[in-house]
Structure 1
Amino acid sequence: MARDPHRRESRRSRSRKHNPDGTMSLRDHLYDLRHRLTLALMFLAIGAIFGYIWWSWEIWKGGSLGNIMIAPYCELPADLRLPKDECKLIQSTPFEAFLVRLKVGLGAGAVLTSPFWLYQIWAFVAPGLYDKERKFARTFVLFASLLFVAGAFLAYYVVPQGLDVLVSFGGDQFATALRANDYFSFILVMLLIFGVSFELPLVIIMLNQTGVLSYEKLKRWRRGFFFGLFVFAAIATPGTDPFSMLALSVAMCVLFELSVQVARIHDKRKARRLAGAEEDYSNLSDDDVSPLNLQTHKDQDNQPSPTPTSPPRDDKPGYDDVT
């Protein structure tokens, strides 16, 4: 049975691309959601396949993914590893190596393809946003990807110091023979923690853009934020050396200070725009809201209400409704 071309054309005409105002029915929203999820999963699958192949192949002379991920373990002193003078992990189950390779490849692929599947999420949400919010969402997706990768890189260079401290608690009475699944799970969790922690400035800027956190509040709470960031860095980095803790804490403090300055610039522009809007509302864009003049209402409320007066009486004889 041949498909009706008119039905296909009508469905195509209902798409968002042919709707200038971006309005869609519930059915079209579900079609678009399925389309975006399919593309996002496709990008994740491509990234996972690439990461799985990268595990044992050197790409661009940067080393294979397996050697890159096992490098922090190989930096441990030789007397702490078992067997000594070798850099190998233990496989306790027949499928452990395959599952570890698949998990690490999926994580690497998700990071590498994050701009593509994050764009699919943004493309689904964007029609419901104002023009100003769309521009902010584009910038948010770009900087979220860059900051996550930067945090993961910092974690990769911090992990060896923390791992050295953790495995040396037992002294000479213990030798380290790590299971592959446990080791790579530890590495991936550390990369995730550092990557997510680097999203702090974006969260602060987003709260400032929505009016939840003003620059005055951030300036007043700056010392408390700095203290909390140093405490978080001390907990997140298990190493006793000051370099690893300072690397994370100083980086997060710098990012926090940058977000505070962005909030300061935004609040200044907002105050200047609102001050001009009180005199001329024609300068406001379609996305901005004109301020309310509450002083007029307060003045009207403070004025005494006039004394009610009865209407003048007519001395002429009248008739009632019955008459």
Structure 2
Amino acid sequence: MTLAERGQPAEGATKKRRKGRRRDPEAHMSLREHLKELRKRLTIAAVGIVAGSVAGFFLYDWIFELLSDPVQGYTDAEGNRLTQIAFNAVGQPLDLLIRISLFVGVIISSPVWLYQLWAFIMPGLRKVEKRYAIAFIGASVPLFVAGILMAYIVLPRAIEFFFSLNPEGTANIIAPDIYFTFVLHLFLACGVAMVVPVVLVGINMMGIVSGKQILHSWRWVVLLIAVISAMAAPGGEAITMFFLMGPITALFAVAIGLCLLHDRRRAKGEAVSA
């Protein structure tokens, strides 16, 4: 007796149903399908970063000058140069070239890897919620870039504070790997901090956390933002600290409001369906 005679689907019908299930936004994916989807998204994101890094290679000289300007331009009251970036290893210029190129690649390819992040989450969302996810993808990129721009504006103030601690008559000879590691970490931290509220709304749509749960922990969120802003604004400079803290706190407030609104709409929908 054949599979069709036993009431079981033939191989062609099974493949067709699997293909349709992948296109069905309401379908559930198996663990194997999740892993294959994750591998696909990571591969695309990696290719995007590598392509962006190639562009970063050609922009290296300009980026190096832009990021080192706060250090190279630091002088005393008489105009004497007090700082200098000095390479102390043969392979250090190549290492720095690779680091900066990858950093530029992450920024340039941010639309790609942010989309891949959401594309991996989107199969778990209902069809209606995917429209919101697409809007959040468009919001993530400018927010990520805005966070990096904020860090760049704060950078000269941070450099000025650290150098103001130098004893009189001394100068700084700075290792580029230490300096640029500090700069790139600061930039990425501010960029990611601006994107976190978008991710927060996303996990709310997935039903992992509710808006009320996020709202109840707002004190801890504000405290964490204040600590991060204080660390990025050395010396406890209030203006710089609030410059960083204000936009991030506002974004979290907007994210909480969207989560509460989504929870209310979901509750109404469940009440109507019941």
Question: Which TM class, normalised by the smaller chain length?
Answer: 0.7 to 0.9
Alignment of 1:7-46 (within 5 A): 19-22=19-22, 36-46=41-51
Superposed CA deviations along residues 109-134 of structure 1, whole A, max 9, x for unmatched, are 11111212333454455445432453
1:245 match: 241
2:4 match: none
**Structure 1 unaligned blocks of 5 or more:** 1-9, 57-63, 282-289, 291-323
* Alpha-carbon distance in structure 1 between the residues aligned to 2:225 and 2:87: 38
Cα 1:35–1:233 change in 2 (3 A) is closer
Q: Alignment partner of 1:212: what SS? A: coil
2:71 match: 73
Range with bigger deviation, 140-149 or 182-191: 140-149
Do the aligned partners of 1:15 and 1:28 also contact (CA within 8 Å) in 2? no
TM-score, structure 1 normalization: 0.66
2:59 match: 54
Q: Alignment partner of 1:232: what SS? A: helix
Instruction: Please state which structure has a larger fraction of its residues in helix.
Output: 2
- Tell me, yes or no, if structure 1 residue 109 matches structure 2 residue 114: no
Q: Could you tell me which amino acid in structure 1 is paired with residue 21 of structure 2?
A: D
Q: How far off its partner does 1:184 sit? A: 0.6
* Among candidates 243, 265, 270, match of residue 266 of structure 2: 270
Do the aligned partners of 1:79 and 1:175 also contact (CA within 8 Å) in 2? no
2:185 match: 189
Q: Alignment partner of 2:107: what SS? A: helix
Number of equivalenced pairs: 257
Do the aligned partners of 1:80 and 1:168 also contact (CA within 8 Å) in 2? no
TM-score, structure 2 normalization: 0.77
* Alpha-carbon distance in structure 2 between the residues aligned to 1:225 and 1:234: 14
* Alpha-carbon distance in structure 2 between the residues aligned to 1:123 and 1:151: 23
Range with bigger deviation, 175-184 or 262-271: 262-271
* Alpha-carbon distance in structure 1 between the residues aligned to 2:147 and 2:230: 16
User: What is the aligned-residue identity percentage?
Assistant: 28
1:316 match: none
* Alpha-carbon distance in structure 1 between the residues aligned to 2:41 and 2:214: 39
Do the aligned partners of 2:74 and 2:81 also contact (CA within 8 Å) in 1? no
Do the aligned partners of 1:214 and 1:267 also contact (CA within 8 Å) in 2? yes
Alignment of 1:126-145 (within 5 A): 126-127=122-123, 129-145=125-141
* Among candidates 169, 174, 180, match of residue 176 of structure 2: 180
Do the aligned partners of 2:136 and 2:198 also contact (CA within 8 Å) in 1? yes
Alignment of 1:275-286 (within 5 A): 275=271, 277=272, 281=273
Do the aligned partners of 2:72 and 2:85 also contact (CA within 8 Å) in 1? no
Q: Could you tell me which amino acid in structure 2 is paired with residue 195 of structure 1?
A: G
Alignment of 1:271-310 (within 5 A): 271-275=267-271, 277=272, 281=273, 290=274
Do the aligned partners of 1:154 and 1:248 also contact (CA within 8 Å) in 2? yes
Do the aligned partners of 1:46 and 1:109 also contact (CA within 8 Å) in 2? yes
* Alpha-carbon distance in structure 1 between the residues aligned to 2:139 and 2:154: 22
The structure whose Rg is larger is 1
Do the aligned partners of 1:80 and 1:167 also contact (CA within 8 Å) in 2? no
Greater relative CO, 1 or 2 (CA 8 Å, sep 6+): 2
1:99 match: 95
Q: How far off its partner does 1:15 sit? A: 9.7
**Structure 2 unaligned blocks of 5 or more:** 1-10
Q: Could you tell me which amino acid in structure 2 is paired with residue 262 of structure 1?
A: L
Q: Alignment partner of 1:177: what SS? A: strand
Cα 1:266–1:40 change in 2 (3 A) is closer
Superposed CA deviations along residues 45-77 of structure 1, whole A, max 9, x for unmatched, are 111110011113xxxxxxx21221112223433
1:318 match: none
* Alpha-carbon distance in structure 2 between the residues aligned to 1:193 and 1:181: 18
Do the aligned partners of 1:55 and 1:101 also contact (CA within 8 Å) in 2? yes
Do the aligned partners of 2:41 and 2:117 also contact (CA within 8 Å) in 1? yes
1:169 match: 165
Do the aligned partners of 2:82 and 2:170 also contact (CA within 8 Å) in 1? no
